Amino acid sequence: MSIDLADLRHTPRRPGSRQAGDGALQAEKILALQVEIARLEATAAGHRVDFERERERADRLTTELLQATAEATAAKEAAARLEGSLRTGGRSGGSTDGHGQATSRLGHLLADLVEADRRACK
């Protein structure tokens, strides 16, 4: 590919006029960019505050969830111990009187109630 330089028409400008206009235009663009940077920094700062608040909230909720999980586990273990003691409580004493049999039946009823409640909660 070749270019004929005779086809190009170039008229040089005066040396001082071009630089003065370009300098003012560049200063205006720089000022506009600085304003945009300040706006974006303010927006970023607002987002940072939101982020920090939500992170603190998530940390609190995580702590509460861990505590609730520990309490639920302890309650399940206590219910299992209670259920076991109610099922075996009437048998270990070896009592054959009416009071021992009533206690044993009550223990079985309570154990069945606890077991049904545990199934309902699942």
Q: Is residue 4 part of a domain?
A: no
Q: In this predicted model, what pLDDT tens digit does every residue of 38-67 receive, in sequence order?
A: 999 999 999 999 999 999 999 999 999 999
pLDDT tier at 72, thresholds 50, 70, 90: very high
Q: Model-level pTM? A: 0.47
Q: What angle do helix axes 15-92 and 98-121 make, rounded to 10 degrees?
A: 160
Residue type, 98: G
Q: Is residue 112 part of a domain?
A: yes
Domain of 82?
Answer: 22-121
Residues 80/62, Cβ–Cβ less than 8 Å: no
- Give the total number of structural domains in the chain: 1
- The DSSP output letter for 97 is S
Q: Is residue 1 part of a domain?
A: no
Q: Is residue 7 part of a domain?
A: no
* Conformation bin of residue 94: beta by default, left when phi > 0, alpha when psi is -120 to 50: left
Residues 108/83, Cβ–Cβ less than 8 Å: no
- The predicted model gives 83-89 an average pLDDT of 73
What is the overall mean pLDDT for the chain?
Answer: 80
Q: Is residue 54 part of a domain?
A: yes
Alpha-carbon gap, residue 40 to 34, rounded angstroms? 10
Alpha-carbon gap, residue 36 to 86, rounded angstroms? 74
Q: Is residue 8 part of a domain?
A: no
Q: Is residue 77 part of a domain?
A: yes
